[in-house]
Amino acid sequence: MSTPVTTFGETVWVLPPLILHPFNERVPPSTLLENSKAALMLSGLIPSDGSDAEELKRRLLSGRYSEIRMLFFLGKDVFRWLDQCVEWAERVPDLREADIYRQSFAGLLTVGAPESVKEKLVRWGVSDYVSIFSRAIGLNTMFLEPPGFCSLAEEFLRNYHRYADALFQCYQQSQPHRIIGSRNFAFELYASSEYSRLLEAEWGAE
């Protein structure tokens, strides 16, 4: 449950930056593409490449598992940012009693991000960032560590995106919160290496 969008006049607060770390398991894009093709072949949407059904299923489930792990680690970064934002808001007198919680900032990231953040994500090749961030958050509400392949049912692996979407909605509804938008809350998005270079440049200028 959420309270209506609240604006705070013309005040604009600058939140901590959202810093995303690279996924270090080095799954090449070609592998993810082949796994996606396996799903289409199993559905009969594109012609088979000659692989039998079991091989196609193995590739499909392997690809889904890689996606789950990537989203899980992305969610770790997002939750770190949500915690930082909540800690920051608790130090701002005007926001301390405004019903602003992690869910407020999760909503800001997924549906109300500043234009500069949206444009950067598009430059990175991320068009459906709403689904990506919401699923990353959803998976992190359920798992403390990335689950092992053998601990996940085939049904979950095949359709994890639907379960992750539902988990995100449950998370957003679990705490009444204020809806906030980019009119009053600004933040920047950085890759970790980019942010490190920025800090080095600032320190060098001092």
Tens-place pLDDT, residues 96-144: 889 999 999 999 999 999 999 999 999 988 889 999 999 999 999 999 9
What are residue 20's DSSP bridge partners?
Answer: 191
Q: What is the mean pLDDT of residues 149-166?
A: 96
Q: How many CB atoms lie within 10 A of CB 145?
A: 7
| Range 61-85 burial, b when 16+ CB lie within 10 A, else e | bbbbbbbbbbbbbbbbbbbebbebb
Q: pLDDT tens digits, residue range 187-206?
A: 999 998 887 777 766 665 55
Euclidean distance between CA atoms 114 and 9, whole angstroms: 17
Q: What is the mean pLDDT of residues 56-78?
A: 91
Is the pTM value of this prediction over 0.75?
A: yes
Sorting pLDDT into bands at 50, 70 and 90, what band is 10? confident
User: pLDDT value at position 25?
Assistant: 58
